[in-house]
Structure 1
Amino acid sequence: MKYGICHEHFADQPFDTAIELFADLGYDGVEITPWSVVDAVDSAADDELAAIREGVESAGLDVIGVPRVFSASDTEYHIGHLDPDVRERTVAYLRDVVEFCAAIGGGLVLYGSPVQRNVPDGVSHDRIYENTLDSFRDPALLELLESTDVVLCMEPISPGYSNFITNTAAAVEFVERVEHPKVGVALDGFHLARENRSPSDCLREAEPYLAHVHSDGDTGRGAADGTLEYGPILETLSEIGYDGYLSLEIHECIFDEVSEPLDPALVAEESLEYLRSLAG
């Protein structure tokens, strides 16, 4: 199993310092959100992007890809908005993120971003769904995915955090309807723990389209914290022949629900030790 980690949780320290920490802890790859390393994804200089890629590679790590397209504050974007101008702006930005991902050496872009996908009050779910399908089928976007060899993933976000594509089955159905080899599914332990069936069943269902897996416990404080058992998850990933990354994303850092002080470096260390102890 290859293990990755999201850089965003460490964006308050110099980039090289964070990358060195990941390498020292024993991680294999890193996920990078654009806004944690560049001022604007559509105007980052080539040498700036090359420096990010070279900094990661020089530490002996891989750039996995982009774990989040939008932050919660990017309210001017929405992938399924009723206003075609908003959708066009959103897809244009998504194409910029795909180009950013390819330029820094990554191969995955994950669409979680609940604010930019949720169904607004009083709006038909079906309208948002069909508009989102149209956005994912944007010819220029699909052509870019093919030419850069980047896979765009729909990630289900559990109820309470999103009201749109909230479980594995919905994500699989969506990807099947998009029907393109460069559009896949990403799953996350934090959200899998909130499904009404076992994570292993979810992983098996997603297997034909599964491009990425995030690790976190059901508390959002790392894979080693909480009641979610990663032994069966690792067994299932091996069983289905998954050859991608199991990559730590700390959800308390994302959703700002920190109930007590959280040390991302300690969480990163304990999570990796826990996962490796199970893998043998």
Structure 2
Amino acid sequence: MKSAVTISLVPEARGGPFVYWDDLAAGCRAAAALGFDAVEVFPPGPDAVSPDDLRALLDDNGLALAAVGTGAGWVKHKLSLTSPDDATRDRAVAFVRSVMDLAARFEAPAIIGSMQGKWEGAVSKPVALRYLGHALFKLDQHAADLGTTLLYEPLNRYETNLVNTLGDAAQLLTGASLEHVKILADLYHMNIEEANLPGAIRAAGRHIGHVHFADSNRRAAGLGHTDFAPIVAALADVGYSGYLSAEVLPLPDTDAAARQTIDTFRRLVG
């Protein structure tokens, strides 16, 4: 398994669970100095980051790109894959595709989290799940064309009322016959929704494509009450060799959160 840390470039998301903020170059330098393997970037949109500049930053700092987030699609642009408006759903799919195009240049996946939306008002849960499944099917085809994967993140009940557990996410992916969409297992969300985190990981198994490495209070691993040793053991048991990426609150401050993360990663993984 490999280590990664998040960098948010979205002003509208300030206060959210990202370690580094605003300055991509500074975030890359800090991540490299601490020995992280990669960074996970959350841009305002795909055109906000120059691929050439990003390539140079990664190469200069000996880093890989772990993933690219699409959260700005909702936070900044109010696009949802389950919107009641057909045109909004189409724009949401187009936004995700464009982020996938950027990420694929670095052999990295894009992430769908908050853009999945929720069911409410005129959109019932079955209809919302149909919209979501249809969008994921189209994006699965785009991932196949790019030769990459897409990450789908089940969120806790306070952020969505659609899919909350790894088991439900796996059922959604298999039911829609998706071959290039994997589950992002976020340990913070799992702490809220799963009865047994290692058990949920073992059950989801081959569907897991990425892990957000966060403690029970969404602080850096080791600053809450999550028992990480059996979680890492379960990931090893299912053959997971991807990133443990710190999507955590920058508390008590950015540098301390980053250092706590890499120290815990090294203790658990080596």
Give TM-score scaled by structure 1 length: 0.86
Q: Which amino acid aligns with 1:172?
A: A
Q: For residue 11 of structure 1, what is the aligned residue in structure 2? A: 21
Say whether the 8 Å CA contact 1:98–1:145 is kept in structure 2: yes
Distance in 1 of aligned mates of 2:82 and 2:160: 14
Say whether the 8 Å CA contact 1:69–1:94 is kept in structure 2: no
What does residue range 23-172 of structure 1 map to in structure 2 within 5 Å?
23-35=32-44, 40-41=45-46, 43=47, 48-70=50-72, 72-74=74-76, 76-103=78-105, 105-113=106-114, 116-121=116-121, 123-138=123-138, 141-172=139-170
Distance in 2 of aligned mates of 1:100 and 1:158: 28
Q: For residue 273 of structure 1, what is the aligned residue in structure 2? A: 263
Q: Which amino acid aligns with 1:93?
A: F
Distance in 1 of aligned mates of 2:145 and 2:73: 26
Say whether the 8 Å CA contact 1:107–1:150 is kept in structure 2: yes
Unmatched tracts of structure 2, length 5 or more = 9-17
Q: Which amino acid aligns with 1:108?
A: P
SS of 1:119 mapped into structure 2:
coil
Give the drift of 1:79: 0.3
- From 201, 212, 215, the equivalent of 1:214 is 212
Distance in 2 of aligned mates of 1:220 and 1:44: 27
Deviations 1:169-228 (A, max 9, x none): 111111112212211111011011112421111111211211101100011111111100
Deviations 1:99-123 (A, max 9, x none): 12123x1421111116x51112453
Q: Which amino acid aligns with 2:108?
A: G
Distance in 2 of aligned mates of 1:64 and 1:168: 21
Name whichever of 55-64 and 119-128 sits farther off: 119-128
Deviations 1:34-74 (A, max 9, x none): 22xxxx42x458xx211112211221111111134435533
Q: For residue 2 of structure 2, what is the aligned residue in structure 1? A: 2
Unmatched tracts of structure 1, length 5 or more = 254-260
Distance in 1 of aligned mates of 2:157 and 2:48: 35
The 1:74/1:53 distance shift into structure 2, 3 A limit, reads same
Q: For residue 257 of structure 1, what is the aligned residue in structure 2? A: none
Q: For residue 256 of structure 1, what is the aligned residue in structure 2? A: none
Q: Which amino acid aligns with 2:269?
A: A
Q: For residue 185 of structure 2, what is the aligned residue in structure 1? A: 187
Say whether the 8 Å CA contact 2:82–2:89 is kept in structure 1: yes
Say whether the 8 Å CA contact 1:5–1:27 is kept in structure 2: yes
Q: Which amino acid aligns with 1:81?
A: S
The 1:76/1:191 distance shift into structure 2, 3 A limit, reads closer
Give TM-score scaled by structure 2 length: 0.89
Say whether the 8 Å CA contact 1:66–1:106 is kept in structure 2: no
Give the drift of 1:240: 1.2
Q: For residue 12 of structure 2, what is the aligned residue in structure 1? A: none
SS of 1:181 mapped into structure 2:
coil
Distance in 1 of aligned mates of 2:216 and 2:73: 22
Give the drift of 1:265: 1.7
- From 219, 223, 226, the equivalent of 2:224 is 226
**Runs of 4 or more off by more than 4 Å in structure 1?**
none
Say whether the 8 Å CA contact 1:53–1:63 is kept in structure 2: no
Say whether the 8 Å CA contact 2:73–2:92 is kept in structure 1: no
